[in-house]
Amino acid sequence: MCHYARAMTGRTPPDETGTERDAGPATPADRLHAIVEQGLCTGCGICQSVAGSEVVRVQKVVNGYERPVVVGDLDHATVDRIYEVCPGTRVEGLPDRLVDDATHVDPVWGPWRRIVRAWAADPVVRHEGSTGGVLTALAIYLLESGRVDLVLHARPSTTEPTFGESHLSATPADVMAGVGARYGPTAPLVGVDEVLGMGRPFAFVGKPCDVAALRNLGRLDQRVDRLVPYMLAPVCGGYMPPAATAAFLERMGIDPSEVTGLRYRGRGCPGPTRIETADGSTEAHYLDFWGEDESMWMLPWRCKVCPDGIGEAADLAAADTWPGGSPTREGSDDDPGTNAVLARSAAGLELLEAAERDGALVIERDATIDEMSDYQPHQVRKKHAVASRYLGMADEGRIVPATARLRLDELAAAMPADEQARQRDGTRVRIGRGKATEPRPEAARPEVQGE
């Protein structure tokens, strides 16, 4: 059950001093902005698509993120609908109709039909793409085989070099324009209502939270199931806050306002982080960008309490395959890349095997759940901790996302009681210190963007 109490009242999240304000009865804008203020917005753009861009516009705000800004007449009924689809307020696993007797369900890794190690058969796609280029290869295959007319995915932003933006591809060249990971704010679903309105079948490739949002929309809009036969996702550790990206650039001796392009990874596994400016380019190691281990990752609050970074709602999810969860500095740029791929639904399995049969993918061998946990230990730890973190959020009167088919209580119960308490108490402390709070979204003035 969602805990909407804080969103439905006029009380606001504590600021960095722990102080709350009583703002009186909540307006529709208060309720929408509560998702942002309580650190739960993923910036996916689904709220703009639901409300219409004349009412809600997802755009860069003063703290550097992309967040919903109310620009028109927002009503409570529309906010109710947003709460039903927003991945900050609802996250569910693979729909029951896609799970049958042929589906394995692991407590951590969720539903799967087959797990393999694979890569793009085209060496250019493999080299350019993140890890082994599997998602890029599958997007191209879906178009070339005529299974879909279009692919909705992210590509580098044409206006904010460190961001991504929604892109609708009709050709392999279009898909390749979006190759590689995007670790900056990206709103791939900002125009999904318009895409659905075209009435043409399309595949969706997005982060697990983006897929969760689209599945949520499918509960309210029958066009989703009819027009989106494939939803694909990377296994996701989170993305970097804009302020942390700016700090990285400054450590590299680069003024963030002078950046014209940022390639986070690719051209190897993980490949270099490449920063473009008018004066040339600078490269850094992936570990220089993210840090040497998980303890150094800078993540938005929503990523720290994510109940599904492994793409449980997707038909197919692709992951990195670094033992221990991180690349090494030695030889990583020479690694051609290998994905671990979880085919979760019957459609995902059929796509995986057809792509191998038709020469789009190379499947090296089948893989195991234990290997997945070795490749992605941070996902295992977070999956066990989320339910306790949610209890800490509830203790503080915060919105707690509604979840289903993710086994969170079962996984929390498998942790020692003292660890459950530590996760719960740590969450309360972070909320009290303002670590889980963002300011009310206010559009950045064009003249200060990039300063």
- DSSP secondary structure string for all residues of 31-77: HHHHHHHTT-----SHHHHHH-TTTEEEEEBTTSSEEEEE-S---HH
Do 329 and 212 reside in the same domain of the chain? yes
Confidence band, pLDDT 50/70/90 cuts, at residue 247: very high
Give the DSSP per-residue string, 360-413: SEEEEEE--HHHHHHH-HHHHHHHHHHHHHHHHHHHTT----EEESS-HHHHHH
Q: pLDDT (tens digit, 9 = 90+) per residue, 78-88?
A: 999 999 999 99
Q: pLDDT (tens digit, 9 = 90+) per residue, 34-67?
A: 999 999 999 999 999 999 999 999 999 999 999 9
Q: pLDDT (tens digit, 9 = 90+) per residue, 148-160?
A: 999 999 999 999 9
Q: Are the C-beta atoms of residues 67 and 58 closer than 8 Å to each other?
A: yes
Do 18 and 157 reside in the same domain of the chain? no
Do 310 and 187 reside in the same domain of the chain? yes
In a domain, 260, yes or no: no
Q: Does a cis peptide bond (omega within 30 degrees of 0) precede residue 270?
A: yes
In a domain, 307, yes or no: yes
Q: Looking at 56-60, 228-232, 284-288, 420-424, which range is the least confident one?
A: 284-288
Confidence band, pLDDT 50/70/90 cuts, at residue 429: very high
Instruction: Provide the number of structural domains found in the chain.
Output: 2
Residue 19 reports pLDDT greater than 50: no
- CA neighbor of 114 nearest in space, from 310, 324, 408, 317: 317
Contacts of 227 (CB under 8 A, 6+ apart): 196, 199, 200, 201, 202
At residue 243, the 3 state secondary structure works out as helix
Residue 416's pLDDT is what? Answer: 98
Residue 329's pLDDT is what? Answer: 85
In a domain, 287, yes or no: no
Confidence band, pLDDT 50/70/90 cuts, at residue 391: very high
* Residue that is last in its domain, among 346, 377, 408: 377
Residue 16's pLDDT is what? Answer: 39
Q: What is the pTM of this model?
A: 0.93
Q: Which helix (H) or strand (E) holds 249?
A: helix 242-251
Residue 21's pLDDT is what? Answer: 45
Do 151 and 9 reside in the same domain of the chain? no
Do 184 and 68 reside in the same domain of the chain? no
10 Å Cβ neighbour count for 268?
Answer: 18
- Cα separation values, 45 from 5, 85, 301, 368, 441, Å: 24, 11, 18, 35, 14
Pairwise CA distance, residues 269 & 266, whole Å: 6
- 362, β-bridge pairs: 119
Do 311 and 442 reside in the same domain of the chain? no
Residue 18 reports pLDDT greater than 70: no
Do 117 and 34 reside in the same domain of the chain? no
Contacts of 297 (CB under 8 A, 6+ apart): 237, 238, 290, 291
Confidence band, pLDDT 50/70/90 cuts, at residue 108: very high
In a domain, 318, yes or no: yes
Do 79 and 111 reside in the same domain of the chain? no
Over 92-153, what HEC string results? ECCCHHHCCCCCEEECCCEEECEEEEEEECCHHHHHHCCCCCHHHHHHHHHHHCCCCCEEEE
Stretch 224-228: mean pLDDT, rounded? 98
Stretch 350-374: mean pLDDT, rounded? 98
Q: Where are the extended beta strands (E) located within 185-243?
A: 202-205, 230-234
Residue 253's pLDDT is what? Answer: 95
Do 203 and 308 reside in the same domain of the chain? yes
Stretch 238-245: mean pLDDT, rounded? 94
Q: Are the C-beta atoms of residues 101 and 195 closer than 8 Å to each other?
A: no
Residue type present at position 110 = G
Do 370 and 435 reside in the same domain of the chain? no
Do 20 and 161 reside in the same domain of the chain? no
Residue 332's pLDDT is what? Answer: 61
Residue 24's pLDDT is what? Answer: 59
Confidence band, pLDDT 50/70/90 cuts, at residue 14: very low
Pairwise CA distance, residues 436 & 13, whole Å: 9
The two three-digit tokens of residue 49, written as one number: 């698509």
In a domain, 383, yes or no: no
> Average model confidence (pLDDT) for the chain?
92
Q: Looking at 109-113, 300-304, 332-336, which range is the least confident one?
A: 332-336
In a domain, 270, yes or no: no
In a domain, 101, yes or no: yes
Do 222 and 122 reside in the same domain of the chain? yes
Stretch 375-391: mean pLDDT, rounded? 98
In a domain, 264, yes or no: no
- 339, β-bridge pairs: 118
Domain that holds residue 442: 5-93+399-448
CA 255 to chain CA centroid, Å, is 27
Pairwise CA distance, residues 373 & 235, whole Å: 12
Residue 31's pLDDT is what? Answer: 97
